[in-house]
Amino acid sequence: MTVTSERKNVAVIGGGPAGLMAAEMLANAGIAVDVFDAMPSVGRKFLLAGVGGMNITHSEPHAAFVARYGARQVEVGTWLNAFTSDALREWIHALGIETFVGSSGRVFPLDMKAAPLLRAWLHRLRGQGVRFHQRHRFTGWADDGRLRFLSPEGEVLHHADAAVLALGGGSWSRLGSDGAWMPLLHEQGVSLLPLRPSNCGFDVEGWSDYFRERFAGVPLKSVSISMPSVPEQLLQREGECVVTATGMEGGLIYALSSAIRDQIESKGCAELRLDLLPGKSSEQIQRALEKPQGKNSFSNHLRKVTGLDGVKAGLLRECAEGCQSSPATVAAAIKSLPLKLIACRPLDEAISTAGGVDFNALDSHLMLKAMPGVFCAGEMIDWEAPTGGYLLTACFASGRVAGQGAVDWLSSGAHSES
């Protein structure tokens, strides 16, 4: 089967936020757009990310926002300068979806749901003539340059004047982001970096059976985490995370995941320090513990004078064995409890991934230098960011860059020379 079109067209491969935004830019320019996606419907990871509250972006000042992209803030910053978090909110409002800023500075749709936003967006795209092809898995390029897809009806060959690849990273493969595109681009001579987990959980050296059975799945609230071995970076955060059967995960851990991962890769482990009572000083805790214990057990005394109980008290026992020798020792352990992490959780469990298409393989319009007319967008490019709306914002912004890049490339006539 061969899909053909009589007029100039662009294939967008991947129906997540980056791909759909590229499709919008192309359709706005009057170009015929075909969106191909391997799944039965588009935006599946987007919808799942919205379960429990669709955190679409963040309201912090632009300079601080851009700094969240770490080693890639210069490159990603160019996307965000053209499409800021405020511009993203205005774009959402134009779809008829109102937003609000939460107490943490995170931005959400008023109803906290992703589905209405996606429905409104797809309705607008279809109204612009964008055509959608579900259950079409991209399998590379034919000898004549046509795009190859595997569909329920068999192989589909599609001619396009340009293509935007928005195939995602390597996490959440059940939703389509499986990294299967890596060998396809490698065969074309594109420089790639290994996919690595980001915003992921980590394993510890090993919980005791008692601690694992008692506390796996329990949230650890109102704590602070730091990495003392990396003093040159601002690696201290306060918030919450979750104890798992093998280690730790959750927001606080995700915020430090790139630094933790890098240190594990270079040194074999990463040591965190947990402040179990960030609202109290070590001196305050010590004075409280110096009060007469009477007939209370140590656990009861600890709970009564400091408020430390449950999973926090369990962690203290687990990670600071023998710390009960003096109030000063206990106070020091509460304020700086060592926790050794030894491995990332598997790639497919991660919220996002680093690695993928090397920035050096792309021009400023996100076109592959080795493949004129082929553009990349979203998580398949080598960048990462913490949760909190930063991932989605950069995906949207990169899709705009890639889509406009394809428009400009086609307008310049360069495609006819390729």
Chain segment 88-104, per-residue pLDDT in tens: 999 999 999 999 999 88
Q: Are residues 160 and 206 in the same domain?
A: no
- Report residue 172's pLDDT band, with 50, 70 and 90 as the boundaries: confident
Q: Are residues 162 and 271 in the same domain?
A: no
Task: Specify the DSSP element, H or E, that contains 196.
Answer: strand 192-198
Q: Are residues 335 and 270 in the same domain?
A: yes
Domain final residue, candidates 301, 320, 344: 344
CATH number at residue 86: 3.50.50.60
Provide, rounded to the nearest whole percent, the portion of the chain with pLDDT above 90: 75
pLDDT(277) > 90: yes
Q: Is the dihedral of CA 414, 137, 125, 170 positive or negative?
A: negative
Domain final residue, candidates 322, 344, 366: 344
Q: Provide the domain limits for residue 122.
A: 2-197+353-417
Q: Are residues 190 and 231 in the same domain?
A: no
* Choice among 145-149, 179-183, 229-233, 405-409 with the minimum mean pLDDT: 229-233
Mean pLDDT of the chain: 91
Mean pLDDT of 294-311: 87
pLDDT at residue 326, as a whole number: 85
Q: Are residues 193 and 206 in the same domain?
A: no
pLDDT(3) > 80: no
Q: Are residues 292 and 379 in the same domain?
A: no
Q: Inter-axis angle of helices 85-94 and 390-411, to 10 degrees?
A: 80
Provide, rounded to the nearest whole percent, the portion of the chain with pLDDT above 70: 94
pLDDT at residue 322, as a whole number: 65
pLDDT at residue 5, as a whole number: 42
Q: Are residues 98 and 185 in the same domain?
A: yes
pLDDT at residue 130, as a whole number: 98
- Report residue 2's pLDDT band, with 50, 70 and 90 as the boundaries: very low
Shortest CA distance to 230 belongs to which of 273, 206, 259?
259
Q: Are residues 359 and 316 in the same domain?
A: no
For 147-164, give the DSSP string: EEEEETTEEEEE--SEEE
Starting from the edge strand earliest in sequence, which strands make up the sheet with 137-141, in order?
2-3, 154-158, 147-151, 137-141
Counting the structural domains of the chain, the total is 2
Domain final residue, candidates 324, 344, 364: 344
pLDDT at residue 156, as a whole number: 96
Q: Are residues 39 and 105 in the same domain?
A: yes
Q: Are residues 160 and 250 in the same domain?
A: no
Q: Are residues 225 and 136 in the same domain?
A: no
